[in-house]
């Protein structure tokens, strides 16, 4: 009898701790889905980026990627992101897709421009740079190094 009471109490403690961790996960982001204003950006290559990815400026999370679709006319990836209302971006802001380390997830990095007018909700960021395939770059480096080693002098 005493053992079942201890097991029940321990089960309750485990559920309480799990609930606390779930609460922390949802509260850890500065921007949650649907909060802020939406911006659009088109990239020639958005591989590795998915909905829920972070949007950062100067390394600080200021938004999230909401959707990722393909424009059937240009075949560019159309990314819709939500930016925190407190962050006003100049009209000439640029967006790049970067990797968070060698094995980390991709994110959108925004770099503000110098214009005085700001982007409004629903507008498009026109200056973009797609993601860089690190594996492809590494392969090119290896093959070029091997090719230069086999050339006769």
Q: pLDDT by residue (tens digit) across 9-44? A: 888 888 888 888 777 766 655 445 557 999 999 999
Which pLDDT score is estimated for 142? 84
Q: What tokens does 153 get?
A: 């002098």
5 has pLDDT over 70 = yes
Which pLDDT score is estimated for 30? 45
Q: What tokens does 81 get?
A: 């992101």
* 140/103 Cα distance (integer angstroms): 19
Which pLDDT score is estimated for 11? 85
In this structure, the number of other CB atoms found within 10 A of the CB of residue 137 comes to: 10
Triad 33, 38, 39: Cα angle to 5°: 130
Label the pairing between strands 127-129 and 94-99: parallel
- The answer, as to whether pTM is greater than 0.85, is no
Contact 51, 65 (CB under 8 A): yes
Contact 56, 140 (CB under 8 A): no
Which pLDDT score is estimated for 94? 95
CA-nearest of 51, 106, 54, 113 to 84 is 54
DSSP state of 34: T
User: Which run of H or E residues covers position 112?
Assistant: none
User: Which run of H or E residues covers position 20?
Assistant: helix 2-27
Q: pLDDT by residue (tens digit) across 65-109? A: 999 999 999 999 999 999 999 999 999 999 999 988 777 788 999
């Amino acid at each position: 009898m005493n053992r079942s009471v201890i097991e029940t109490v321990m089960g309750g403690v485990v559920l309480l701790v799990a609930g606390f961790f779930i609460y922390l996960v949802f509260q850890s982001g500065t921007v949650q889905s649907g909060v802020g204003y939406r911006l659009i950006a088109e990239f020639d290559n958005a591989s590795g980026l998915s909905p829920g990815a972070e949007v950062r400026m100067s390394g600080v999370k200021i938004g999230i990627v909401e959707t990722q679709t393909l424009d059937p006319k240009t075949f560019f990836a159309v990314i819709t992101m939500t930016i925190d209302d407190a962050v006003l971006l100049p009209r000439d802001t640029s967006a790049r897709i970067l990797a968070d380390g060698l094995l980390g997830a991709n994110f959108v990095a925004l770099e503000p421009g110098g214009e005085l007018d700001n982007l409004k909700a629903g507008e498009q960021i026109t200056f973009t740079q797609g993601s860089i395939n690190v594996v492809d770059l590494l392969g090119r480096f290896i093959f070029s190094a091997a090719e230069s080693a086999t050339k006769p002098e």
